[in-house]
Amino acid sequence: MSDETKKIKVVDSHTAGEPTRVVVEGLPEADVAGPVAWRDFLSEEHDWLRTAVACEPRGHEAMVGAYLLEPTRADCVAGVVFFNNVGYLHGCLHGTIGLTVTLAHLGRLSNGDNRIETPTGIVTVRPPEDGWVEVQNVRSWRYAEAVSVEVPEWGVVHGDVAWGGNWFFLIEAPDTIEVNFENLPQLTDFTCAVRDALNANGITGAAKGEIDHIEVFGPPADNQADSKNFVLCPGREYDRSPCGTGTSAKLACLHASGKLQPGQIWRQAGILNTLFEGSVEEVPEGGVIPTVKGRAFVTAQAELYIQPSDPFAYGIVYSP
Ligand code: PYC
């Protein structure tokens, strides 16, 4: 192996089926501090690292990556920036749960509350109990209710726009598609068409925030859950978990409609029928602080090699 081979240490986990690959060593040396500055620096100058880690042949389309950062605040244990095969995520709760089991695996958590800096704000976790991790998320809120959009070939679709650490459009499944695993192709086509229509019609979150996650709800498979979802993530991949930021957005909408009281538990199943449990606290500025609980497992610890002579050193990058 050449001396110029880059070596990147990662710990892999999955949360309710959705993978997280935490880069624990191998970031470029830089005089940068804090998740927002790191995200901007890495996206502008070292995007090769994201594609090398998240895309094939080392990663795959569903892979969510996380750069583990030194915290800038004395009351935080770590900082993090999340990314996937097509770009950077604002926040990610399945990823935060994956990061938490990773930090526990590395012996880097203290007892009690551990605060983590993210580009969306501070989230708080506690050490896992049998893999279960509870995350207190950033403030979440419903931004717009019952927004209509004409979706070519699907007709008019109505949904809520909400922030849960990413921007979501939350909709009921059309009568023609059940929210289940067998219908992944139809759910993907439908949600991609909805997202394109939102973009084409200039429908955004606050401050023109792009709505890049589409969340579709249907009835749960059994009485273990209150609802089942399918969540389209940026790109064309779906979340294997019930999506923590998506569950936060759902909790904010339920609360705004008077259907969820503070402290009441909501059990959100994802497309694999795995569960997240959530509840909310009210905040004076409006909206809620959601808490979301899910279970993660460490699946691997590895060193990735990026060799200059490898034609796919920086991943197989999909550009439509
Ligand atoms: O759990 O928040 C989440 C998430 C966002 C994208 C994939 N998972």
With contact defined as beta carbons under 8 Å apart, do 79 and 117 qualify?
A: yes
* Residue 90 in contact with ligand 1 by CB distance below 6 A: no
C-alpha span between 99 and 95 (Å, rounded) = 6
Report the run of H or E that residue 197 belongs to, with start and end.
Answer: helix 184-200
Task: State what percent of residues in the chain have pLDDT above 70.
Answer: 99
pLDDT tens digits for 167-193? 999 999 999 999 999 999 999 999 999
Q: How far apart are CA 248 and CA 91, in angstroms?
A: 11
User: What confidence tier does 320 reach under pLDDT thresholds 50, 70, 90?
Assistant: low
d(CA 283, ligand 1 centre) in Å:
23
Query: Average pLDDT of the chain?
Result: 97
Q: Is the CB of 240 under 6 A from ligand 1?
A: no
Q: Which pTM was predicted?
A: 0.98
Place of tokens 């094939």: 56
Q: What is the pLDDT of residue 30?
A: 96
Measured in degrees and rounded to the nearest 5, phi and psi for residue 29 equal: -70, 135
pLDDT higher than 80, residue 319? no
Locate the ligand 1 atom nearest the alpha carbon of residue 233 and give its number: 6
To test the pocket of ligand 1, the residue of 120, 140, 166 to mutate (highest count of ligand atoms within 8 Å of its CB) is 166
Taking the centre of ligand 1 as the mean of its atom positions, its distance from the CA of residue 94, in whole angstroms, is 5
Instruction: Please tell me the distance from the alpha carbon of residue 105 to that of residue 116, in angstroms, as a whole number.
Output: 16
CA of 93 to the centre of ligand 1 (A): 6
Please give the average per-residue pLDDT across 72-96, as a whole number: 98
- The pLDDT of residue 1 is 81
Distance 210 CA to ligand 1 centre (A): 16
Give the residue numbers marked as catalytic.
92, 243
- 215-229: average pLDDT: 98
What tokens were used for 214? 């589409």
251 lines ligand 1 (CB under 6 A): no
Say yes or no: CB of residue 244 within 6 Å of ligand 1.
yes
Q: Find out whether the beta carbon of 64 lies less than 6 Å from any atom of ligand 1.
A: yes
Does the C-beta of 245 come closer than 6 Å to ligand 1? Answer: yes
Cα-based torsion angle of the residue sequence 150, 152, 155, 159 in order, rounded to the nearest 10 degrees: -50
> What would the pLDDT profile of 225-263 be if each residue is shown by its tens digit?
999 999 999 999 999 999 999 999 999 999 999 999 999
